[in-house]
Amino acid sequence: MSYVIEGKTGSWEIVVGLEVHAQVVSKSKLFSGASTTFGAEPNSQVSLIDAAFPGMLPVINKECVVQAVRTGLGLNARINLESRFDRKNYFYADLPQGYQISQFAHPIVGEGTIEIELSSGETRKIGITRLHMEQDAGKLIHDQDPTKSMVDLNRAGVALMEIVSEPDIREPEEAGAYLRKLRQILRYLGTCDGNMEEGSMRADVNVSVRKAGEPFRTRCEIKNVNSIRFVMQAIEVEAARQVEIWENGGEVDQETRLFDAARGETRTMRSKEDAHDYRYFPDPDLLPLVIEQGWVDALKAALPELPDAKRTRFQSDYGIPFYDAGVLVAEQSVADFYETIAKGRDGKLAVSWVTGDLFAALNRTGKTIETSPVSAEALGKMLDLIADGTINGKIAKEVFEDMVETGEGPDAIVEKKGLRQVTDTGVIDAAIDAVMAKNADKVTEYRSGKDKLFGFFVGQVMKETKGKANPALVNDALKAKLDG
Ligand code: ADP
Ligand code: MG
């Protein structure tokens, strides 16, 4: 069922297109050698180029081009062998050049697609319009002095990729799924760390509404939304605002708005500027960027396995369901952890331990997969102990908790605590005899037809053997004794 807003004049559909700014992972900036490390002392990573001293000439950083092309390939997009840099002219205190160098008319990456999955299990393709490279601006700081604003130029000149989607998104959930998938792909590629809190990935959200079958109406752009949850909320409240305007006979103005998360509303920032306001023109300091197909092909051949491909392979290699495979590939580190365990073992058992017991333990101890107290190798060894009959599934839970607490290996814990599974039929028979002697009345009930009591006897025998008896042997021996 699709998402609609019911107004007094009928149902409205939401139309959304996203512009994502993703900071490129590279040691130095797009046109200078200054460092890009996050969190440095203000203005300690500023070259003369970033500070726009007269006569300085920008030189393109090849690593940033590599990263943009790899991202384009990861988005199944067309790579443009010739692209150009333009100047986007505007004045702002955090932009010493007086213009931003950006690819306007000739971006390095053209049309592509991202496939998203929705909670209903459906998948949808969202079109990518383009990806272009541009410089980031500096940062103004207003809270350090009562009368002055400060400027930190560390970020000025850092490479960004602007990734623009087609207006294909129809509901808040799809926008969330799109951003999560895009972030996953960027992280797998290592082209952007996707950290929205630190601002290395931010989204401009374009929203309009229309009646079914109508052409698109005027959109508003909500700037710099810095979490996926806020993007979804912003779409919801902005769409509701626009419906109300149209239904009251008004017109939505094309403008740039801000989302105020505390109040749960959007408000005007400025009326929408047009491209000609920026007086774009090709940057005369930079030649057109020309790359070769052979070079692009080599980058493509060296791409890592991306989430969609990994998910499909996990399903077929390890026989696990689509949903489970999706949970595992959401983070590359989790996928790698799982694969270390699952290789050569029971893939289904491995996924239930990773997404069940391990995730719960990480949650409880405030750890991540990277800092997990139980390594993939150790968990794998524990599954081996289950497979070769050294311990049973129930005792494995106890062993695992001990591994979480002590960081010891499963073998050591099994020896230390004497948890080896009891397969000695003599010991099992003795335990059964003891249980039957203690519960003579229940034995009579069972023998007169109360089959359900079988589970009770199994439980008692397991208790008698401190949980260590082999459950299959207990079952067989109990049947024989009770029925015999
Ligand atoms: P600009 O550079 O002015 O922001 P773009 O052509 O780059 O304009 O488009 C920006 C974004 O707006 C794109 O993501 C696009 O999908 C989206 N968009 C375009 N038209 C609409 C619309 N009517 N409703 C919602 N989003 C739209
Ligand atoms: Mg825009």
Q: pLDDT digit string (tens) for 395-451? A: 999 999 999 999 999 999 999 988 888 888 898 999 999 999 999 999 999 999 898
- 347 and 292 in a common domain: no
**Domain of 51, in residue numbers:** 4-297
pLDDT at 389 (0 to 100): 86
Q: Which residues line ligand 1 (CB under 6 A)?
A: 15-19, 164-167, 206-208, 216, 219, 221
pLDDT exceeds 80 at position 157: yes
In a domain, 151, yes or no: yes
Instruction: Identify the domain boundary among 411, 435, 450.
Output: 411
pLDDT at 421 (0 to 100): 83
Give the residue-averaged pLDDT of 296-303: 98
- Residue-wise pLDDT for 224-275, tens only, equals 999 999 999 999 999 999 999 999 999 999 999 999 999 999 999 877 677 6
pLDDT at 252 (0 to 100): 96
- 455 and 405 in a common domain: no
This prediction's pTM:
0.88
In a domain, 420, yes or no: no
In a domain, 266, yes or no: yes
- 343 and 274 in a common domain: no
CA of 362 to the centre of ligand 1 (A): 41
Please name which of 58, 400, 370, 23 lies closest in space to residue 186, comparing C-alpha atoms: 23
- Ligand 1 atom closest to the Cα of residue 218 is 23
pLDDT at 269 (0 to 100): 86
CA distance 354 to 337: 9
CA of 218 to the centre of ligand 1 (A): 10
> Would you list the DSSP string of 199-259?
TSEEEEEEEEEEETTPPP---EEEEEE-SHHHHHHHHHHHHHHHHHHHHTT-----EEEEE
- Ligand 1 atom closest to the Cα of residue 206 is 26
pLDDT at 368 (0 to 100): 96
Instruction: Identify the domain boundary among 380, 411, 442.
Output: 411
pLDDT exceeds 90 at position 40: yes
- 55 and 201 in a common domain: yes
**CA triple 440-444-446, angle to 5 deg:** 115
In a domain, 417, yes or no: no
What backbone torsions phi and psi does residue 321 show, to the nearest 5 degrees?
Answer: -70, 160
The CATH number covering residue 460 comes to 1.10.10.410
- 313 and 280 in a common domain: no
- 28 and 56 in a common domain: yes
Decide: 95 and 121 in contact? Cβ < 8 Å.
Answer: no
- 151 and 79 in a common domain: yes
Query: Residue 121: pLDDT band by 50, 70, 90 thresholds?
Result: confident
Least confident of 238-242, 284-288, 300-304, 457-461: 457-461
Query: Residue 338: pLDDT band by 50, 70, 90 thresholds?
Result: very high
pLDDT at 441 (0 to 100): 94
Which helix (H) or strand (E) segment holds residue 177: the answer is helix 172-189
- 228 and 131 in a common domain: yes
- 449 and 312 in a common domain: no
In a domain, 288, yes or no: yes
- 244 and 389 in a common domain: no
Please name which of 300, 301, 275, 282 lies closest in space to residue 82, comparing C-alpha atoms: 282
Give the residue-averaged pLDDT of 154-180: 97
pLDDT at 197 (0 to 100): 87
pLDDT exceeds 90 at position 218: yes
Parallel, antiparallel, or unpaired for β 139-141 and 150-152? Answer: antiparallel
Query: Residue 3: pLDDT band by 50, 70, 90 thresholds?
Result: confident
> Would you list the DSSP string of 293-346?
HHHHHHHHHTPPPPHHHHHHHHHHHH---HHHHHHHHTSHHHHHHHHHHHTTS-
- Ligand 1 atom closest to the Cα of residue 18 is 14
Residue nearest ligand 1's atom 19 by CA = 167
Instruction: Identify the domain boundary among 279, 297, 315.
Output: 297
Please name which of 259, 228, 34 lies closest in space to residue 138, comparing C-alpha atoms: 34
- Residue-wise pLDDT for 348-381, tens only, equals 999 999 999 999 999 999 999 999 999 999 999 9
Torsion sign, CA atoms 343, 349, 352, 353 = negative
pLDDT at 423 (0 to 100): 84
Give strand pairing partners of 260.
265
In a domain, 434, yes or no: yes
Which helix (H) or strand (E) segment holds residue 406: the answer is helix 393-406
pLDDT exceeds 70 at position 59: yes
Q: Which ligand is in closest contact with the Cα of 273?
A: 1
- 386 and 430 in a common domain: no
pLDDT at 419 (0 to 100): 86
Domain count, the chain: 3
